Amino acid sequence: MKNIVTCQWLNEHLNDPKLVIFDAGMVRPGKLGEYKPQAKLPNAQRFDFKKQLADQDNPLPHTMCSAEQFTQQMQLMGVDKDSLVIIYEDQGLFSAARGWWMFKAMGFDNVKVLSGGLAKWQSLGYLTQIEYSRHYHKGNFVAKPRVGYFIDAAAVFQGIDDEHTVLLDARGYQRYLGEMAEPRAGMRSGHIPNSRALPFVELLDDGEAKPFADIKAAFEAVLGDQADLQTTLQFSCGSGVTACILALFADECGYENLHVYDGSWSEWGGRDELPIETGPCPSR
């Protein structure tokens, strides 16, 4: 896959001077405490999209920061225009794709996700370190934001009745149906009208990507007669994190018009004026 590298590949390229490794892990929804993995990959730095790389003026959780903020932080962490950025997390695939999409949204394409994350790395017996590394070289990276990579509620609302636009919901199917309470207080249950369910967990096998053919088939099944590569795809989830997993896999499948709803259900489910639906996904 073009967006994913294996632990074996990374272990063989650790001495590449252009390599920058980021840990974009997070505490999973419903769990308390701070993200504190016991081990880190060699030379890994913390990619904190909940605080350091978030818009702190936005009441919604970890929304995308400004291009200026992203540029400043990436330069401080030694990212150059020609760097190769690898993003991982402590286990499986949950939040690393968020970091991948943030780089893509800021105009940087030489970024990949580590398959299996830290857990896979350790299972193979590769070296780790206790603390995060610090980078003393100031990078020359400059963000060049791409319009539409992150979208807001207005763009999603406009796409509801657009026959060329499909919104895919990465949450679990019971949440999509409205049969399970949301993990965040004050959220309504259900889904955005005309959206379709594609739970991100259905594209994974033990935390790693399923074979490409299976992923492609899953997209084609949920999109049906709209599985054309020119279809505009919007992605939503609980808070704009796992929606990026769908964006990553859609990119793998060749879809190009991709948009992540940054506020996702944290915004839509909390705004009573926005319409919701409950019940089955039309493709199931």
Paired tokens of 282: 């039309």
**Active-site residue 237, yes or no?**
yes
Residue 155: how many other CB atoms lie within 10 Å = 14
Between the alpha carbon of residue 138 and those of residues 73, 74, 76, 141, 142, the distances in Å are: 10, 9, 5, 9, 12
CA angle 55, 56, 59 (to 5 degrees): 95
Q: Which of 65, 237, 244, 281 is catalytic?
A: 237
Pairing assessment for the beta strands 208-209 and 204-205 based on DSSP bridges: antiparallel
Question: Mind telling me the catalytic residues?
Answer: 237
